[in-house]
A and B are shown apart, each in its own frame.
Chain A
Amino acid sequence: QSALTQPPSASGSPGQSVTISCTGTSSDVGGYDAVSWYQQRPGRAPKLMIFEVRKRPSGVPDRFSGSKSGNTASLTVSGLQAADAATYYCSSYAGSSNPVLFGGGTTLTVL
C-alpha cells in the first residue's frame, strides 16, 4: 500500500487558519476513524496532536482540530502562531496486515 498523500507545504500568517489534507483510500483513511496527526519540529521527536480523527491529547491547544470526509482527513490550525511552524504528518490505521500508514509530511510555514 502507498503512503497517504499530503501536500508538501502549507503556509499562513499569524492569526490566520490553515488546513492540511491527508488523502488515502477506503482501506485506510475512509475505512476507519483512526487518523492521527503529529507535529515534528526540526531535530525533535514527533508529538501526537490529534487521534481518532478529531480527539486531542491532554495539553494540545484547541486551536488544533481534525476532521474527515470520505477518504480525506484534515488538520486545521487556527490562530496561527510562530511556534506552529513544523512538519505535520498524518497516519491512519489500515487493517491488521499492514496496520499503519503515514503521510509524507507537510511543512507548515508561518509567514
Chain B
Amino acid sequence: EVLLVESGGGLVKPGGSLRLSCAASGFTFNYAWMTWVRQAPGKGLEWVGRIKSRTDGGTTDYSAPVKGRFIISRDDLKNTLYLQMSSLMSDDTAMYYCVAWTTLELAATYAFDVWGQGTMVTVSS
C-alpha cells in the first residue's frame, strides 16, 4: 500500500521557519516525482512546489507565492520528502499535503494521485 505520512506542522510566529517531513512507503520513492499542495482553512487547494526524481535531475519548481521562501528537498535513503519554510506569513496558514506522482504521465499533467493525511501549519503571533 502506498502511504505518505506528514509531520512537523505546528504554530509558528510570522517571520519564523518550519520544516515539514513526509515519510513515504509502499512504492519506489527514489523514482517518484513528489509535490506539496496546501489548503488554507475553509479554502481551496493550492500547489506549492515539486521535486523531480534524482534520475530525472532532481530539480525543483515553486509557485509564485512561496518562491524564494520555501525549499523542497528529498532524502532517497530515508524515503523522505521535506519542505523547508522560512519567512512565514499569515497567508501560509494551511494544511500541507505531501503528494506522490506514481507515474510520469500524471506528473506531466499535474494530476495529484497519492495524498498524505496532511499536517497543519498555523502562522500567528
Contact = CB atoms under 8 A, between A and B. Distances in A.
Nearest to A97: B64
B113 interface: yes
Given A51-B111, A52-B111, A93-B110, A100 B47 contact: yes
A69 interface: no
B118 A91 contact: no
A48 to B, nearest CB: 5
A47 B118 CA distance: 13
Contacts of B117: 44-45
Contacts of A36: 109-112
A21 to B, nearest CB: 16
Given A98-B63, A99-B61, A89 B110 contact: no
Interface stretch (A9-17, A73-81, A102-110): A102-110
A38 to B, nearest CB: 7
Interface in B15-65: 37, 44-47, 61, 63-64
Interface of A: 3, 32-34, 36, 38, 44-48, 51-52, 57, 89, 91, 93, 98-100, 102-105
A97 B105 CA distance: 19
Interface residues of B, number: 21
A3 B44 contact: yes
B24 to A, nearest CB: 15
A29 to B, nearest CB: 12
Interface of B: 37, 44-47, 61, 63-64, 97, 105-106, 108-113, 115-118
B68 to A, nearest CB: 15
Contacts of B45: 38, 46, 89, 91, 102, 105
A93 B117 CA distance: 24
B110 A91 contact: yes
A66 to B, nearest CB: 11
A33 to B, nearest CB: 8
